Structure 1
Amino acid sequence: MFRHMAITFLLSQLYCQAKQNRWMRYFTGFNRVALALGFLPSGYVKIAGERFTSLSNNHPMGHYLEALFHTGYYYTFIGVAQMTAAILLLIPRTALLGAMLYFPIILNICILSFSVRFDGSLVSSPLMVLANLYLLCWDYDRLKGILLPDPRTVLVNRSKGVSNEFPLAFFGGGLITVVTVGFTVLNLFDMKPYNTLNDCQQNCRDSRNPAACAEFCDCIHQQGQPLNRCLDAYNRAVAAQPNGTWVAPRK
């Protein structure tokens, strides 16, 4: 019990120090504006009934977005939810509600981007998830009644003035996190469909098996086959010819 109280007290102190820091407040405002700008254009496009992207329907993400476009008012509903979350984020009194609405939407986009290996949001979406989580943590004092309904929760005096000390450790850790996420995501997949056939084929020059890679690009962008089927064919070709020569995979 005492250990729990000590940890809670320490976290509360760190939290209050962050809330009283001018630079952290600037960073919070930046995150709110950046996330809002990420949803306002895409939400408006959906409400206006326009297609969200010019991706080919043969592309895995293109398959999904084309089907989504034809869902009628569900497509519009997503746009309304995105714009609502963005607007709520920009209003200080409703910023927490905006962050709570924003989170499931951006988490879904992040998982979707990874599942179809979509270059367009492969890096940005996990960073947006982290930014959204930061905003939820920023309003921990308003959320703790839901998350930790414990009457023994330690309260820390927050009556001190605003601090102008630059939180070097926080921003240094944040920069390392962004670089780590970006590097990891960009090197996570051996093969990606990329956005166009030309982009995909250019990547084949550095592939373990250029011919198999070219077949993969054709499988995606010309034949419109599912991503997993094209990946399976590519992996079989690479595994069958470890010396780099290539035999066309079975159809």
Structure 2
Amino acid sequence: MGHYLEALHHTGYYYTFIGYAQVLAALLLLIPRTVLLGTLLYLPIILNICILSFAVRFEGSLLTAPLMVIACIYLLCWHYERIKYIFPFNNPPFVRPVQNSRFPKLFFAVVIATFLAVGFTVTHLYKLMPRNTQVDCETQCDDSENPEACKVFCESIHNNGQDLDKSLKDYERALKQKK
């Protein structure tokens, strides 16, 4: 992830543009009249961050990015009546719920279930994570099926500067040598 952010920083004004777009989206999301516009601006940004987090196994946003994508999708569904004209179909597959004065227990139950499901999935998705430092990376080796192979992975990432794919190949090779 550090290599990616370093390369992104060297693009010059593109890096700054992304930052301004995120701040603009945040401001638009704070104003009730512009929530939909903020959501439409923020969805591609956070979807990119989410996919990047999964691609490089970045723990910093591995949980929060998918949850923010889900929140954006929820906001788009909530404002479906305002954006339905850009879709090729006329009948929505969902209907905006009727609001009443009762506490929405079912809604909060679904939110909590979604949070737990996403949290469980992303924490159990990968058996190896590069982590931010070699020491942090090696903390996962004690629980590994082959601690030495895990340490080869951490060494490859942090000391040898290899990318994730090369480090995973080194890990697989170390697993095979042990057998």
Say whether the fold is shared (TM-score over 0.5): yes
Corresponding position of 2:61:
121
Matching residue's letter, 1:179 = L
The list of structure 1 runs, each at least 4 consecutive aligned residues, that deviate by more than 4 angstroms after superposition, is: none
Alpha-carbon separation, structure 1, partners of 2:3 and 2:86: 39
The answer to whether the Cα contact below 8 Å between 2:134 and 2:158 also exists between their aligned partners in 1 is yes
Does the CA-based 8 Å contact 2:58-2:131 persist in structure 1? yes
1:226 aligns with 2:166: no
The reply to whether residue 74 of structure 1 matches residue 11 of structure 2 is no
Residue 31 (structure 1) aligns with: none
- CA distances 1:126-158 after superposition (whole Å, capped 9, x unpaired): 0110011111111111011222564x88xx9x9
Q: TM-score by structure 1 length?
A: 0.66
> Bigger relative contact order, structure 1 or 2, given CA contacts below 8 A and separation 6+?
1
SS in 1 for 2:139: helix
Partners of 1:71 and 1:109 lie apart in 2 by 17
1:93 aligns with 2:33: yes
Structure whose alpha-carbon radius of gyration is higher: 1
Please list, as runs of the form range in 1=range in 2, the aligned pairs for 1:67-216 lying within 5 A after superposition.
67-147=7-87, 150=90, 163-216=100-153
- Percent identity between matched residues is 57
Aligned 8 A contact 2:152 2:174 in 1: no
Deviations 1:62-86 (A, max 9, x none): 0000111111101110011111111
Distance in 2 (alpha carbons) for counterparts of 1:180 and 1:214: 30
Asked whether the equivalents of residues 29 and 36 of structure 2 are also in contact (C-alpha less than 8 Å), the reply is yes
TM-score (norm: length of structure 2): 0.92
TM-fit CA distance, 1:236: 2.2
Deviation readout 1:95-145 (Å, 9 max, x if unpaired):
100000000000000000000000101111101100111111111110112
Distance 1:198 1:233 in 2: 18
CA distance in 2, matches of 1:190, 1:239: 17
- Could you tell me which runs of 5 or more consecutive residues in structure 2 were left unpaired when the two chains were aligned: none
Unmatched runs of 5 consecutive residues or more in structure 1: 1-60, 243-251
Query: Secondary structure of 2:140's match?
Result: helix
Q: How far, CA to CA, are the matches of 1:193 and 1:115 in structure 2?
A: 12
CA RMSD of aligned residues (A): 1.9
- Deviation digits for residues 206-232 of structure 1, max 9, x if unmatched? 111111111111110111101100101
Tell me the amino acid that sits aligned with residue 135 of structure 2.
N
CA distance in 2, matches of 1:94, 1:193: 39
Secondary structure of the structure 2 residue equivalent to 1:189 = coil
CA distance in 1, matches of 2:80, 2:27: 21
C-alpha distance in 2, partners of 1:193/1:229? 12
Kept in 2, the 8 Å contact 1:197–1:218? The answer is: yes
Contact between 1:208 and 1:238, CA under 8 Å: does it hold in 2? no
Figure out how many residues of one structure are paired with residues of the other and give that number.
176
SS of residue matched to 2:132: coil
